Amino acid sequence: MVERFDTPGISDAEMEGLRARIAAHGPRLPLAEPVLDEAAAREATRKAVADLVDERAMDAVLAQVKGDGLRLTGPGGFLSELVKAVLERGLQAELAEHLGYGKHDPAGKGSGNSRNGSTPKTVQTEVGPIDVRVPRDRAGTFTPVMLPKNARRLGGLSDVIISLYAGGMTVRDISHHLHRVYGTEVGPDTISTITDEVLDEVKAWQHRPLDEVYPIVYVDALMVKVRDGGQVRNKACYLVVGVGVDGVKHVLGIWVQQAEGAKFWMQVCTELRNRGVRDVLIACCDGLTGLPEAIEAVWPHTTVQTCVVHLIRAAMKFVSYKDRKAMVAVLKEIYTAPSVEAAETALLGFADSPIGKRYPAAVAVWERAWERFTPFLAFPVEIRKIIYTTNAIESFNYQIRKIIKNRGHFPTDDAVVKLIWLAIADIEDKRARQRAAEAGKPANTRTAPPRLVEGAGVNGWKQALNSLEIFFPGRIPVPGSPGHFSPGLPQNGT
């Protein structure tokens, strides 16, 4: 069956808000909202610190750090006590505003509500654990904002945990890291709960509405180990990337395979159609069992194309190192042939050649995939360059494998989807920061990488789009009229 998510309750309005944000910005780490003017915020912070701390007092603290062993961070450190003082002062100010009068103010007599001591609470922060006294009122109506009820950590620590998790660290590695660096005790179960908070966003992203037409769709898989029924199994995690009419790539979804073959792919294709995809012109994949049949059942007019690079790799597995250059030269005559007839002649020549007779298994790879390969030969060079390979996904899969290689296995299928979603956001965030740091520099001096997959453009798209319009007349929507389709094409619910 298709992957589902068990998420805590979320209102329809909240879900719509998530979908709108995801549609506008794509996947991103659910961290604290960025400051619009970082320079102004930094200057305001410096001024506040300067007003708060006397220079002589600061010199005395530094002398203690050097001479008396006073620690800046960690349990009992200077920064921990400073944050404690700020929190407790802020909580007292919130309570005074809630009651309507300050501490020891006679105006509170007969008001019906008053202070009622405090409750101790240990809060985990980026500077270590802090013991805070949270004030109470007699009516029990005080709800602090600075440190909400039941909160055991400040937001910055959650951001750190999610960033470390997205970077590939396991929950136990994160727990050890926080204890070693911050002196903070956060158990693996708590860390897992914190990272599970993104599941609502994952769910909204996985079920967001899609464009009605994707000229090209790529499908590729990576293998992960998942605990299932008391044993660890190898499962295929599939990524589907679509190229929109504007030539921009988007990850349409992530699925962990539950069933085998055609049934699984039928559910995936049906889900994509129900999310608004009415037509796909070309689907590029790697001979996945049941996928071509499912695509043709849901979108009967779609051309299913086997990835040429995968065919080359599959054939090269049987070839010794000394013969690889000769094999590549022979195969190039097949996939660069100007027509199907020329390619068939090249394939027959390959089979009868000395190298073909030496490696009959390599010949068989192309013969078995011939029916799904030949549509490639009908297209001009502009389209061939785009559908020649699924490297658009494979380069991303390479980055994902670097993240998951430290994990023995995943506890659930949800954990797989969660980590990959966070990895997409993390990778694109890192690249966006690098590009922002080089903004304004001459183009020939910039070294920041472009977008990896999500939101990346396709080189030479305008020329390819013109060729696609000729090969698939009437199936590419005209700008301003998204409902423009040929009458014979399938519609939602048909």
Cβ atoms 250, 220 nearer than 8 A: no
Instruction: Find, among 483, 451, 1, the residue nearest to 265 by Cα.
Output: 1
Q: What is the pTM of this model?
A: 0.69
Nearest-10 Cα torsion for 391, 395, 396, 399: 160
Asked whether residue 355 carries a pLDDT value surpassing 60, the answer given is yes
The mean per-residue pLDDT over the stretch 185-203 comes to 80
Residue pLDDT, tens place only, 283-313: 988 777 778 888 888 999 999 888 888 888 8
Give pLDDT, residue 1. 43
In angstroms, the CA 91 to CA 95 distance is 6
**Cα–Cα distance, 431 to 452 (Å, whole number):** 8
Give the C-alpha separation, 129 to 141, whole Å.
27
Averaged pLDDT of the chain: 79
Q: Are strands 303-306 and 213-228 parallel, antiparallel or unpaired?
A: unpaired
Q: What is the pLDDT of residue 6?
A: 43
Write the CA distances from 418 to 60, 194, 392, 404, 468, integer angstroms: 48, 12, 21, 12, 35
Q: Residues 215-235: what's their mean pLDDT? A: 86
- State how beta strands 115-125 and 128-137 pair: antiparallel
Percent of the chain with pLDDT over 70: 77
Higher-confidence position of 36 and 183: 183
- Per-residue pLDDT band at 406 (split at 50, 70, 90): confident
**Better-scored residue on pLDDT, 420 or 21:** 420
The pLDDT tens digits for 230-269 are 888 888 888 888 999 998 888 898 888 865 567 788 888 8
Residue 215 has pLDDT above 90, yes or no: yes
| pLDDT on residue 41 | 65
Dist. CA 255–CA 414, nearest whole Å = 10
The helix or strand, by DSSP H or E, that contains position 434, with its residue range, turns out to be helix 413-437
What is residue 342's predicted lDDT score, i.e. its pLDDT?
A: 92
The confidence band for 35, taking pLDDT boundaries of 50, 70 and 90, is very low
227 Cβ neighbours under 8 A, 6+ residues apart = 233, 409, 410, 411, 412
Check pLDDT > 80 for residue 74.
no
3-state secondary structure of 449: coil
Helix (H, G, I), strand (E, B) or coil at 155: helix
pLDDT confidence of residue 483 = 45
Question: In the prediction, which pLDDT does 216 show?
Answer: 92
Q: Which of 149-153, 391-395, 397-401 has the lowest mean pLDDT?
A: 391-395
